Amino acid sequence: MEYEIIVVGGGHAGCEAALSSARLGHKTLLVTGNINNIADMPCNPSIGGPAKGIVVREIDALGGEMGRNADKAVLQSKMLNTKKGPAVQALRFQADKITYPKEMLKTLQNTKNLDIKEAFVEDLVVENNKIMGVILADNKKISAEAVILTTGTYLKSVILTGANKEPGGPHGENNSKFLSDKLKDLGFKILRLKTGTPPRIEKSSINYEETSLEPGDKKIRTFSFDNIIYKDSDEQIPCHLIYTTKETHDIIKEHLKESSMYGGYVEGVGPRYCPSIEDKVVRFSDKERHQLFLEPESIFYDDIYIQGFSTSMPHNIQEIMVHSLPGLKNAKILKYAYAIEYDAIDSKQLKPSLETKIIEGLFTAGQINGTSGYEEAAGQGLIAGINASLKLENKDPLILKRNESYIGVLIDDLVTKGIKDPYRLLTSRAEYRLLLRHDNADLRLRDYGYKVGLISDEKYSIFNKKKEDINELTNLLINTRITPKKETNEYIESLNSNPLKDGISLLEFLKRPEIKIEDLKHFIEIPYSSEVQEQVEINTKYEGYIKKALKEADKMLSLEEKSIPENLDYDDIDNLASEARQKLKEIRPITIGQASRISGVNPADISILMVYLRRKKI
Amino acid sequence: MDDTIVAISTALGVGAISIVRLSGEEAIDIVASCFKGKNLKEVSSHTINYGHIYNEEELIDEVLVSVMKAPKTYTSEDVVEINCHGGIIATNKILETMLTHGARLAEPGEFTKRAFLNGKIDLIKSESVMDLIDSKTEEARKLAMSGLSGRTSQLITNFRDTLKNLLSQIEVNIDYPEYYDIEVVTEEKIKQEIAKMKKDLDYLVKISENSMTLKNGIKTVIVGKPNVGKSSILNKLLEEDKAIVTDIAGTTRDIVEGEINLDGILLNIIDTAGIRKSEDIVEQIGVEKSISMISQADLVIVVLNNNQKLTNEDLEILEKTKNKQRIIAINKIDLEKNIDLDLNLENIIYTNTTDINGIETLKDKIKELFKLEKLNTKDYTYLTNSRQIALAKQANKSLLDAEKSLNDGLPVDMIEIDLTNCFETLGEIIGESYKEEIIDNLFANFCVGK
């Protein structure tokens, strides 16, 4: 074998997959169409956001690269949902589209065991349903024990603007012409998906007086638990907010049929949660305006990204659409918006390890699995890299549960429910989101990262110190009591809190909704990091709810512990509803818990399945 | 569920006919193998066939056999019902014959369990079947039927829809935090929605508990010092209900002495033995014991003597019962009034056991206290057993928690946990949320055969 693992595609999934497998000591090859497009951000210039920001933290906790790399490329840092509670807060960066890929490439090139090759993979070498390697466009074979496909939007991709259809990937790159047909021949169900991107305009042509400022937070935070800040807070670049006008909507309605989407030129299914502007105007016709953000792409060039304005209109219509927007009357379009269609595989054909069910040793991650978003891709890439490595080492795969991580939610959704439109991770997809917080990603996952081998001893001891500190501080607050002395009560009343009647511990006192851990510094010194203080504060304040969430999670886990044999003959089970039988045969869930989440499998089917397993003593 | 089950579906005892029912893949084969008449394997589905059941050469009975083929049957499996002549011996013989020909005796509730597992009925309906079998009065029977109609499921589904809407509105705000045009669900709005749902759910629980009372009977205790006329009142009540006086001592409900059906309302009289035998409950078993009985009762009837001043015993009984649902019956109003009772007490009635009017007043009072008029028997949309009611209460507790947390200023993501719990708990009532134990426990409670 020339390589142990080959990763096909150098996007966000591919980078994480290649780095993790190489770092775990496996000789790895990353094949990409264009080295200059490694870790490219072809759509929005941001990383993180609700749910996605938590994924980035999880990637970092497990030993992936995205968080650290984003920290190096930050243009603006913003913590979202701060007015809501800790469970749904998430960090989002505007990230520099030049710096991010450059830094990632540097990291890849400095990683041991990792080679990078510029080429297109057009076929796979498969023997007895086992992957043996890849075949390049020039027919050259490269052998490997495992292959991870992270082909993004490049499978048979077509760029659409109006009636114009051009085969190719983003930035006028080449696409992969035959690989999806080969996958189909191997037995994969191929889906056609669509996504799109808005126009970029020249910064100097914008009249900012007609926009409102959307600055970053006062303080830059980091995605990585390394906590290294690469930029001064006051160097952040702001975004700006504008709204579409009636004129914009009129133009869109008048020219609707000229768009690729409404002109019937698109076969693929577009993302529900990230609709094009023409979709928004049609579907929400009662809304008078839609919000758009003007976002900087980089400090090295002048492009401004119009977030919320993706379209598949022809160029001439895009011109008048853009010019109908406030502040953009004289805007110069540097890059036109486009829609892109591409092939993906049916993610129900994957195991929870991201290995395909059909071909042993073949893994897939990212947009090829039907997801959208850099973060979703990176999370899968990391897991695919880890699990391909574990497979070569004859170890059990790493399967994260729904109560442990958003990555677990994402992969479980993919392999259990499948997708119809490009899948975007949302906070609402997680049942136990109070457990899956931004702030505790390391506490949830770092042990896994260490066990797998992606977290160094040094980092792991820092993490363990943090855990000890959390315990120490909690005990300190339990053991320190305050009593209703005059001075004490005067201070408490100055915090708009009720004076004490009896003595209480500081921990009890902290449970009062109006009291913050900062306020306790009046009584004692708290010589612990702000992260440690934050953990203790959240654990104390929301103790009751965290317990409730844990209880719910336990219910789910009890079903998750009941495993279903891989070779179970569903035809042998009488009385399963036929839809349920067909779904179970297709998805082959590994636990009762997973089976219960399959749509079309009803509680009655689950009872039948459990009765069967119990009777057969499986 | 590969085997075929059999049970006697009618009550054991002497009756004109009994029904032995089989369900399962071999139901038709098994009956056909001991049936002389038409070939049951060849008859059309849903037909009744005349013939005789034989065990080997021995003629057991002359029967009518209904053959119903899957899936349009109670269990969704092949079902055969043998209508035989009533009587314990004949019916049991037929059952035995089926057992020797390959059927297995059904476990309690197994026919309905199969119906449920085969997706024929939902959880609430299967519970209703159990209620229907257990119902002792016409009112209770109607209640059970309302569960079967699916109206209860619909009501719970409506609650869940409201919650789902509220949750998805909150979630839009979480997932799209910077979209200022999306209506933000304010705490005020959540509070309003919760308050309304809580009120409705409270009402459902209350009215369902009343309906449970209908079904299970009102645990009633009659207390009073000796010679105030307790037994006369009891006897008068018993006279009213000529049909049911059952001695069921030795059962699990051994404190219940008798059941009295008053216009469809079941009164379970607790420990009337003491009353009837000695007229002297307080003296005989002591105040302590009466207090323990009082604490178990849904209704306490305190009997006082109009002819006498209140004694310390009377006052103690009044004190001990003041927080209970109670009726104070001032008896012997045909005699001179010497009683010095504070007439501001609630629910006082006057009785004279020589006269029917006093008892009518008592009955009306009972109905009023348990708001039984409100239970419109034509339009039952209630939870019909204690499992469902307990879950509804639990769901309401989640709403209460949410309300409290909102008032404490906790963030919306915590509130959501309560709302989600409420949603899941309501789902358990109708079997939408999956819980293994429920199904296991549930079917063990069914009586055999249904």
pLDDT tens digits along A186-244: 999 999 999 999 999 999 999 999 999 999 999 999 999 998 999 888 899 999 999 99
Q: B1 and A86 in contact by Cβ < 8 A?
A: no
A471 and A566 inside one domain? no
Å between A521 CA and nearest CA of chain B: 23
Q: Which residue spans within A157-218 are E strands per DSSP?
A: 158-161, 164-167, 190-197, 200-202, 212-214
Å between B266 CA and nearest CA of chain A: 36
Q: Which of B117, B180, B409 sits opposite A604 (nearest CB)?
A: B117
Q: How many residues does chain A have?
A: 618
Q: Is A50 on the interface with B (CB under 8 A)?
A: yes
Boundary-marking domain end, from A339, A360, A382: A339
CB B257 within 8 A of CB B219: no
Q: Which chain B residue shows the shortest CA-CA distance from A428?
A: B171
Q: B414 and A287 in contact by Cβ < 8 A?
A: no
Boundary-marking domain end, from A275, A305, A339: A339
Please give the pLDDT value at position B247: 37
Q: Is A438 on the interface with B (CB under 8 A)?
A: no
Å between B228 CA and nearest CA of chain A: 53
d(CA A588, CA A350): 10
Residue ranges of A 382-401 with Cβ closer than 8 A to chain B: none
Q: Which of A291, A428, A596 sits opposite B180 (nearest CB)?
A: A291
Q: Which chain A residue shows the shortest CA-CA distance from B173?
A: A81
A210 and A286 inside one domain? yes
Q: B408 and A513 in contact by Cβ < 8 A?
A: yes
> Of the CATH numbers 3.20.20.450, 1.20.120.430, 3.40.50.970, 3.40.640.10, which one belongs to the domain with range B151-212+381-430?
1.20.120.430
Q: B175 and A289 in contact by Cβ < 8 A?
A: no
Chain A residues lying within 8 Å of B408, measured CB to CB: 513
Q: Is B234 helix (H, G, I), strand (E, B) or coil?
A: helix
Kindly state the helix (H) or strand (E) to which residue A76 belongs, with its residue range: strand A74-80
CATH number at residue A576: 1.10.150.570
d(CA B309, CA A249): 88
A248 closest CA partner among A171, A170, A328, A314 = A328
Please give the pLDDT value at position B142: 64
Is residue A486 assigned to a domain? yes
Q: If you count residue pairs, one on A and one on B, with CB atoms under 8 Å apart, how many are there?
A: 104
A468 and A599 inside one domain? no
Q: A603 and B434 in contact by Cβ < 8 A?
A: yes
Residue given tokens 């035989």 in the structure block = B84
Please give the pLDDT value at position B362: 83
Kindly state the helix (H) or strand (E) to which residue B168 belongs, with its residue range: helix B151-175
Boundary-marking domain end, from A299, A317, A339: A339
Q: A604 and B116 in contact by Cβ < 8 A?
A: yes
Distances (CA, A) of A95 to A40, A71, A90, A239, B136: 11, 8, 15, 12, 73
Please give the pLDDT value at position B321: 83
Which residue range(s) make up the domain with A522? 457-547
Q: B413 and A434 in contact by Cβ < 8 A?
A: yes
A271 and A321 inside one domain? yes
Selected residue of A557, A597, A607 to mutate for chain B interface (largest B Cβ count, 10 A): A607
Please give the pLDDT value at position A517: 95
A41 closest CA partner among A203, A178, A197, A146 = A197
Q: Which chain A residue shows the shortest CA-CA distance from B407?
A: A513
Residue given tokens 């499921």 in the structure block = B153
- Position with higher pLDDT, B49 vs B182: B49
Torsion of CA A304, A308, A312, A314, to 10 degrees: -50
Where are the domain boundaries for CATH 3.30.1360.120 in chain B?
5-121
Q: Which of B174, B175, B434 sits opposite A606 (nearest CB)?
A: B434
Q: What single letter denotes the amino acid at residue A543? A: E
Q: How many CB atoms are located within 10 Å of the residue A499 CB?
A: 12
What is the gyration radius of the CA atoms in chain A, in angstroms?
Answer: 26
Is residue A286 assigned to a domain? yes
Out of A129-138, A444-453, B143-152, B207-216, least confident range: B143-152
Is residue A488 assigned to a domain? yes
Å between B37 CA and nearest CA of chain A: 31
Please give the pLDDT value at position B301: 87
The answer, yes or no, to whether residue B351 has pLDDT greater than 90, is no
Where helices occur in B182-306 by DSSP H, the ranges are 187-216, 230-240, 272-278, 281-296
d(CA B88, CA B91): 5
Q: What is the mean pLDDT of residues A423-451?
A: 93
d(CA A370, CA A366): 7
Q: What is the mean pLDDT of residues A264-290?
A: 86
Chain A residues lying within 8 Å of B168, measured CB to CB: 428
Q: B181 and A289 in contact by Cβ < 8 A?
A: yes
Q: How many domains does chain A have?
A: 3
**B300's tokens:** 């306490």
Please give the pLDDT value at position B253: 30
Residues 6+ apart with CB under 8 A from B61: B52, B53, B84, B85, B90, B93, B94
Residues 6+ apart with CB under 8 A from B238: B245, B258, B260
HEC string for A350-384: ECCCCEECCCECEEECHHHHCECCHHHHHHHHHHH
Q: What is the mean pLDDT of residues A495-510?
A: 94
CB A258 within 8 A of CB A162: yes
Beta bridge partner(s), residue A176: A155
Q: A51 and B418 in contact by Cβ < 8 A?
A: no
Beta bridge partner(s), residue A194: A341
- Position with higher pLDDT, B196 vs A1: B196
CATH number at residue A263: 2.40.30.260
Distance from chain centroid for Cα A155 = 21
Is residue A63 assigned to a domain? no
A538 and A569 inside one domain? no
ipTM of the complex: 0.80
Å between B130 CA and nearest CA of chain A: 18
Distance from chain centroid for Cα B303 = 30
| pLDDT band at A428; cut points 50, 70, 90 | confident
Distances (CA, A) of B434 to A253, A558, B165, B272, B398: 47, 12, 21, 44, 19
A252 closest CA partner among A159, A158, A160, A162 = A162
Å between B232 CA and nearest CA of chain A: 54
Q: Which of B76, B177, B421 sits opposite A50 (nearest CB)?
A: B177
Is residue A247 assigned to a domain? yes
B391 closest CA partner among B185, B123, B145, B84 = B123
d(CA B422, CA B417): 9
Q: Which of B174, B414, B436 sits opposite A81 (nearest CB)?
A: B174
Chain A residues lying within 8 Å of B176, measured CB to CB: 50
Q: What is the mean pLDDT of residues B95-107?
A: 88
A300 and A210 inside one domain? yes
Full-model pTM: 0.79
Distance from chain centroid for Cα A381 = 10
Out of B138-147, B290-299, B392-401, least confident range: B138-147
* Residue B100 φ then ψ, to 5°: -70, -20
CB A384 within 8 A of CB A28: no
Q: Which of A80, A548, A603 sits opposite B431 (nearest CB)?
A: A603
Q: A50 and B174 in contact by Cβ < 8 A?
A: yes
Domain over B5-121 is classified CATH 3.40.470.10: no
d(CA A389, CA A392): 5
Is residue A36 assigned to a domain? no
**B62's tokens:** 């002359």
Q: A426 and B409 in contact by Cβ < 8 A?
A: no
The answer, yes or no, to whether residue A137 has pLDDT greater than 70, is yes
- Position with higher pLDDT, A108 vs B184: A108
Out of A291-305, A521-535, B195-209, B267-281, least confident range: B267-281
Chain B residues lying within 8 Å of A434, measured CB to CB: 413-414, 417
Chain A residues lying within 8 Å of B433, measured CB to CB: 603
What is the gyration radius of the CA atoms in chain B, in angstroms?
Answer: 28
Where are the domain boundaries for CATH 1.20.120.430 in chain B?
151-212+381-430
Please give the pLDDT value at position B323: 81
Q: What single letter denotes the amino acid at residue A93? A: F
Q: How many CB atoms are located within 10 Å of the residue A366 CB?
A: 31
A213 and A332 inside one domain? yes
Residue given tokens 């973060």 in the structure block = A375
d(CA A377, CA B173): 24
| pLDDT band at B133; cut points 50, 70, 90 | low
User: What is the pLDDT of chain B when averaged over all its residues?
Assistant: 76
Name the DSSP letter for residue B329: E
Q: B116 and A84 in contact by Cβ < 8 A?
A: no
Chain A residues lying within 8 Å of B173, measured CB to CB: 84
**A353's tokens:** 């390890």
Kindly state the helix (H) or strand (E) to which residue A146 belongs, with its residue range: strand A141-149
A525 closest CA partner among A477, A589, A453, A586 = A477
**A487's tokens:** 């001075």
> Of the CATH numbers 1.10.10.10, 3.40.50.300, 3.40.50.970, 3.30.420.10, which one belongs to the domain with range B220-353?
3.40.50.300
Å between B417 CA and nearest CA of chain A: 7
Q: Which residue spans within A249-386 are E strands per DSSP?
A: 291-296, 303-307, 333-335, 338-345, 362-364
CB A50 within 8 A of CB A426: yes
A284 and A211 inside one domain? yes
Name the DSSP letter for residue A92: E
Query: Which residues of B lie closer than 8 Å to A, measured between beta carbons?
Result: 1-2, 76, 116-119, 167-168, 171, 173-181, 405, 408-414, 417-418, 420-421, 424, 431-436, 439
Please give the pLDDT value at position B242: 39
Q: Which of B178, B181, B409 sits opposite A287 (nearest CB)?
A: B181
Distance from chain centroid for Cα A574 = 40
Chain B residues lying within 8 Å of A575, measured CB to CB: 1, 76, 117-119
Q: Is A248 on the interface with B (CB under 8 A)?
A: no
Please give the pLDDT value at position B297: 80
User: What is the pLDDT of chain A when averaged over all its residues?
Assistant: 93
The answer, yes or no, to whether residue B282 has pLDDT greater than 50, is no
d(CA B295, CA B293): 5
What strand order describes the sheet that includes B218-223? B256-262, B265-270, B218-223, B299-305, B326-331, B348-350
Q: B117 and A51 in contact by Cβ < 8 A?
A: no
d(CA B306, CA B331): 6
Out of A547-561, B41-55, B268-282, B385-399, least confident range: B268-282
Q: How many residues does chain B have?
A: 450
B412: left (phi over 0), alpha (psi -120 to 50) or beta: alpha
Chain B residues lying within 8 Å of A80, measured CB to CB: 177-178
Q: Is A606 on the interface with B (CB under 8 A)?
A: yes
CB A229 within 8 A of CB A220: yes
Residues 6+ apart with CB under 8 A from A265: A160, A162, A163, A165, A312
d(CA A105, CA A14): 12
Residues 6+ apart with CB under 8 A from B149: none
Q: Is A409 on the interface with B (CB under 8 A)?
A: no
